[in-house]
Structure 1
Amino acid sequence: MGVLLGNQVLTLFALALVMNNYFGFYSSWSDLFGTEGSSAAAIVTDAEAGQGDPGTPSSKGVQIIGSAHVPLITTRKGHSGGRLEQVVISGATSRLSSPAYVYLPPQYFEKRFANTRFPAILALTGYPGDARNLVTRMNIPTVAAKAIDRNEMVPTIMVLMRPTVAPPRDTECMDVPGGPQVETYFTKDLRESMAGAFRVGTDAANWGVLGGSTGGYCALKMSMRHPEAFSSAVSLSGYYKAPIDATTGDLFGGSAKLQDENDLMWRLANLPQPPISVLVTSSKKGESNYKTTLAFLAAVKPPMQASSLILPSGGHNFNTWNREVPQALPWLAQQLHVPVGETPATPSASASPAS
């Protein structure tokens, strides 16, 4: 009986481990039990990259941990995929900090762009998420490098993170009354810290945000609530109203008004629509957000603009998002404006998802 019971426990443990490795729910035991701090372990530094480019030193708001080249398969000589920096980004106002990856396109290191500021995209995982999944499972830096090399998107800096900056709590990117100020961190602190460490634009027109699942809700909400921070957003399988459960706790401090303001369908029906562009994705078969996505699209009115990418089938997982990102990422980059006075290369042509 003891052996049979032990076999059952080990089998369940193995299945849980396989599921966690596939979906990336937790990256470590400390992450699972909520004891993980904000510091990030250093990745193996690429021998050619050294300890970082002199033009991108650590700053008060951004600590650079390591650096590696982004692979790019191309027949053109002299073309590279850019570089991926592992960092910790701290916020002066929110007093929050979180590990992240920063993708720098190859043009960032070219002499002709030495004084150029670039547009930027914040990419978010779902909850609880792991920023590494954006690199290893969704290959976002490689997808971006390929799109830039093919002139499908302008050279763009990317910040890859998870929305869980106050682990283990799922804040749904909220400024929680009496709790962590996550919305302030993403819409104010992160952009200021990035501008102090890298050559990124500082206007809303220079910034977009992309996310999957919880990250998709955060992307839509933060751009709708803060058009002064993000001018465009992509929601991959996102939802439109924050859940309340054991992982979130009380997000609204008992305020029905605050709860309404974070309900995206309520905002479309009751508040002036912001001058932003958004792309939402879903699947006719396999996604639970299909009907609400259609309702969201129908509710959008000018000056807000909405496009959609609807697959015939696809579940709520990395396989589906990997099919959507090669179209969604260039679409988002095309919505951004190059900082005034700057001249990154302009894409010649690119297909945009149609609504």
Structure 2
Amino acid sequence: MSLTGTPFLYTLVVLCVVAVVLPLVLWSRVRGPRVVRAAARVLMVVFAQGTAVALVFTMVNNSNQLYDNWGDLLGTSDHVHRAADLGASGTGGIALEKLPRVRQAFKPAKGPGMRAEGGVLTTELRGRVSGVQAEVNVWLPPQYHEPAYRNHRFPVVEVLPGYPGSSKAWYGTMDASQQLAPLMRRGQIEPFILVSPRTTLLPGKDTGCANIPGKVNADSWLSVDVPKMVMDNFRAKAAPDGWAVAGYSAGAHCAAKLAVAHPDRYRAAVSLSGYNDPGAVPQSLAGKSPALRAANNPYVLLKDARVAPRVALYLSGQPNDGYEAAMALKRVAKAPTTVRVVFIPTDAGGHTMALWKPQVVPAFRWLTEVMGSEHRTRTAPGTTPLAPSTAGSRHAELASGNVSPAGAARRP
């Protein structure tokens, strides 16, 4: 029975009802020695508490899409077949342009939000370079199947969840496709393809989106194998100008790091409540040694870059939750790197989906400004020309330096 399925949820609801009724009916009817009666009553109490905890956990999990399946929850899912040393490039010297085309079969994805706005397609991809085998979800914008766009190639945003987190979370809890599709139809937001690959690749470990020889090549999975598959199977623009990466929490750290580390693969990144130093996260494999911490810290990468990367960064955060890290990146960024920092006040909520969900539209308006210049000058028949727009939300209005807290923390 699926962890996130309706049958499992309903079964828990029935068991909770039984757990309440059972002691009401049997409490005074238990027979036998005192020890037996005490044990039976304790079991009834434990059963009631256990079913209640399980129901609450399941509802929270379904709402926030933390764990996709039993393997993720129990720490038994391993999606790494090999983890060769791929070197600094993350390709192991493989000439990517000479690799055969990746032909994938897709099917409709199941789960909350996966059927909205045309539905999400899913496939199981075996990464030729990374050695990772896992699911990749793809949502196509409304214009993708329109005749006027039959020869058009679409920009792509790779969307990443936090840790733990489901590859479906951006379509489910974040409602990204439902929020963006109407604006895409009206020509107010660029018609992006949204791609959400699995990021939980090892049992009970946050990979930090890093390449770690002998353990995992998460960076190459996300920045090499997944983009190649998408470009081989859909009318997607080529990297780097056609590609961006976005994430929240641990996924936000990954987004900033991937874009800064690979300006030849990504043009922009959106980081919602991210951090720079993976060593600050106990579960992160990327923080287990000084060398790994430096190699996967976007602040260090920007500060030490011989040539500033041509990437644009959109970084949002609250005090002590992403804002200081964002300001640190802004301070060390040099042209052509651009950084926009959005300050989110503490009264907007905490480190939850409720904080990040309202930021989807402002972030994608910014991505449209950064990556959608073609459509502001040439639009398909029957569509409204795209134009630069303000985010139109309280979060974005607070993006000016005038509202930043005095003496914002200086640490990276």
Provide the TM-score with structure 1 as the length reference.
0.80
| SS of 2:168 mapped into structure 1 | helix
Counterparts of 1:300 and 1:283, CA distance in 2: 20
**Bigger mean CA deviation after superposition, 62-71 or 218-227:** 62-71
1:325 equivalenced with 2:360 (yes/no)? yes
Question: Any unmatched runs of 5+ in structure 2?
Answer: 1-37, 80-100, 401-412
Counterparts of 1:219 and 1:225, CA distance in 2: 10
Q: In 1, are the aligned partners of 2:246 and 2:252 still within 8 Å (CA)?
A: yes
Deviations along 1:283-317, one digit per CA (max 9) or x if unpaired, are 34xx6333333333333232210112222232111
For 1:335, the equivalent position in structure 2 comes to 370
Counterparts of 1:239 and 1:252, CA distance in 2: 12
Count of aligned positions: 321
Listed as ranges, the matches of 1:271-282 within 5 Å are 271-272=305-306, 273-282=308-317
Higher strand share: 1
For 2:4, the equivalent position in structure 1 comes to none
Superposition deviation, residue 347 in structure 1: 0.9
Counterparts of 1:265 and 1:97, CA distance in 2: 30
For 1:42, the equivalent position in structure 2 comes to none
Bigger Rg, structure 1 or 2? 2
Deviations along 1:50-79, one digit per CA (max 9) or x if unpaired, are xxxxxxxxx8453302269965xxxxxxxx
Query: Compared with structure 1, are the counterparts of its residues 82 and 13 closer, same or farther at alpha carbon in structure 2 (3 Å cutoff)?
Result: closer
Counterparts of 2:78 and 2:155, CA distance in 1: 30
Counterparts of 1:23 and 1:219, CA distance in 2: 20
Counterparts of 1:175 and 1:338, CA distance in 2: 34
For 2:65, the equivalent position in structure 1 comes to 24
Listed as ranges, the matches of 1:167-178 within 5 Å are 167-178=203-214
| SS of 1:228 mapped into structure 2 | coil
1:225 equivalenced with 2:261 (yes/no)? yes
Superposition deviation, residue 281 in structure 1: 0.8
Superposition deviation, residue 37 in structure 1: 6.5
Query: Compared with structure 1, are the counterparts of its residues 207 and 153 closer, same or farther at alpha carbon in structure 2 (3 Å cutoff)?
Result: same
Provide the TM-score with structure 2 as the length reference.
0.70
Counterparts of 1:180 and 1:111, CA distance in 2: 42
Aligned AA (1:257): A
Listed as ranges, the matches of 1:141-152 within 5 Å are 141-152=177-188
1:126 equivalenced with 2:165 (yes/no)? no
Superposition deviation, residue 11 in structure 1: 3.8
Question: Any unmatched runs of 5+ in structure 1?
Answer: 39-58, 72-80
For 1:264, the equivalent position in structure 2 comes to 298
Superposition deviation, residue 239 in structure 1: 1.0
Aligned AA (1:111): P
Q: In 1, are the aligned partners of 2:163 and 2:200 still within 8 Å (CA)?
A: yes
Aligned AA (2:264): E
For 1:66, the equivalent position in structure 2 comes to 108
Listed as ranges, the matches of 1:1-355 within 5 Å are 2=42, 3-36=44-77, 60-66=102-108, 71=116, 81-243=117-279, 247-249=283-285, 251=286, 254=289, 256-272=290-306, 273-284=308-319, 288-312=321-345, 313-336=348-371, 345=380, 346-352=385-391, 353=396, 354-355=399-400
Query: Compared with structure 1, are the counterparts of its residues 151 and 322 closer, same or farther at alpha carbon in structure 2 (3 Å cutoff)?
Result: same
Query: Compared with structure 1, are the counterparts of its residues 67 and 318 closer, same or farther at alpha carbon in structure 2 (3 Å cutoff)?
Result: closer
Query: Compared with structure 1, are the counterparts of its residues 92 and 148 closer, same or farther at alpha carbon in structure 2 (3 Å cutoff)?
Result: same
Aligned AA (1:306): V
| SS of 1:136 mapped into structure 2 | coil
Counterparts of 1:166 and 1:190, CA distance in 2: 18
